[in-house]
Amino acid sequence: MIDIDEWTITSAALKAQAATPNPRLKAVMDSLVRHLHDFAREVQLTEAEWSCGIDFLTQVGKITDDKRQEFILLSDVLGLSTLVTAQCNRRPTGCTEATVFGPFYVPDAPEYRNGDDISNGASGEPCFVSGTVRGIDGERIAHASMDVWQSDDEGWYDVQRPELDHAQGRGHLSSLEDGRYHFRSIVAVPYAIPHDGPVGRMLEKLGRHPWRPAHLHFMIKAPGYETLITHVFRSGGSYLGSDAVFGVRSSLIADWKRHDPGVAPDGTRMDVPFYTLDYDFVLNNAPKD
């Protein structure tokens, strides 16, 4: 006799997948089933609500393509991305903290030399960015691979502009022999994550805003060190305390310093005001084999 009800269904579902050959997959799926069933019982989920949830996820899938990742946005605004990032990137005090990847990274960004302008025509006030890449023991790291990406001063990334036929506000460079890096870009500004889709409608219903504080994205890799994915946030700006994707860390907030027209750090004569940002990154040692 098979008697399935709201309480016995959980053990039945777990029994059905008991022969899963991959131990990690079994552990994840068993926990997922238990938590999903407990959630449904706790909130007394109705059939109409369940159907609405399925429809929501269907809409998230339909709007996702190679230019827009709505599932990453959903994970971000629910805090799941930050939770996973935090528990997978526990590092010693002194290391630069990791934060969320975000949906706008693009592999194979244009190659630049130190000192080049990675904005590549993106609109915004000029900004000169510099710093050093070091290891946790203080050593300077030469030839660290650095991917950088950001929005323009209207809050748009290049991949959100279908009229563009080239990359803007993103690039790849390497630290110099002494670990230093420097490049020119534009001033970071706050922007709203895409909120014209299902995730945006969800935020509205929750009484939440879609805004992110001004920041630059970095991904830094070097042999013998853990990969760092992080942001540097602009101090004094809006939304530092209410980032829609929960990415802010106090240690990642830095000053964008404004300068009157004059000579920039790289010797360029600037006829307009410009900004400078100086930020050092500290990488953790990779685990020993």
Q: Give CA 248 to chain center in angstroms.
A: 10
> Which of 82, 86, 50 lies closest to 243 in space, CA to CA?
82
The one-letter code for the residue type at 54 is: I
Higher pLDDT: 27 or 66? It is: 27
Q: Is residue 85 very low, low, confident or very high in pLDDT (cuts 50, 70, 90)?
A: very high
Q: Stretch 261-277: mean pLDDT, rounded?
A: 95
| Residue 65 tokens, joined | 């393509």
| Helix (H), strand (E) at residue 40 | helix 23-43
- Answer yes or no: are the C-beta atoms of 239 and 190 closer than 8 Å: yes
| Residue 224 tokens, joined | 């013998």
* Tens of pLDDT, residues 149-192: 999 999 999 988 989 989 999 999 999 999 999 999 999 999 99
- Answer yes or no: are the C-beta atoms of 216 and 196 closer than 8 Å: no
Q: Over 70: is that where the pLDDT of 1 sits?
A: no
The residues facing 262 across adjacent strands are 270
pLDDT in the model for residue 128: 97
- Domain residue ranges in the chain: 8-45, 74-283
Q: Over 80: is that where the pLDDT of 2 sits?
A: no
Q: Is residue 210 very low, low, confident or very high in pLDDT (cuts 50, 70, 90)?
A: very high
Question: Tell me, which fold does domain 74-283 have in CATH?
Answer: Protocatechuate 3,4-Dioxygenase, subunit A (2.60.130)
For the chain, give the mean pLDDT.
95
| Residue 239 tokens, joined | 């939304």
Percent with pLDDT over 90 in the chain: 92
Sign of the CA dihedral with 27 first, then 33, 38, and 39 last:
positive
Percent with pLDDT over 70 in the chain: 99
Q: Is residue 122 very low, low, confident or very high in pLDDT (cuts 50, 70, 90)?
A: very high
* Tens of pLDDT, residues 8-56: 999 999 999 999 999 999 999 999 999 999 999 999 999 999 999 999 9
Q: Give start and end residues of each alpha helix (H) in 110-255.
A: 198-205
Q: Over 90: is that where the pLDDT of 3 sits?
A: no
* Tens of pLDDT, residues 215-261: 999 999 999 999 999 999 999 988 999 999 999 999 999 999 999 99
Phi, psi of 169 (to 5 degrees): 70, 25
The residues facing 62 across adjacent strands are none
In whole angstroms, how far apart are CA 40 and each of 35, 129, 199? 9, 49, 21
Q: How open is the CA angle 9-12-16, to the nearest 5 degrees?
A: 140
Higher pLDDT: 165 or 126? It is: 126
Q: Stretch 133-150: mean pLDDT, rounded?
A: 97
> Which of 70, 103, 72 lies closest to 201 in space, CA to CA?
70
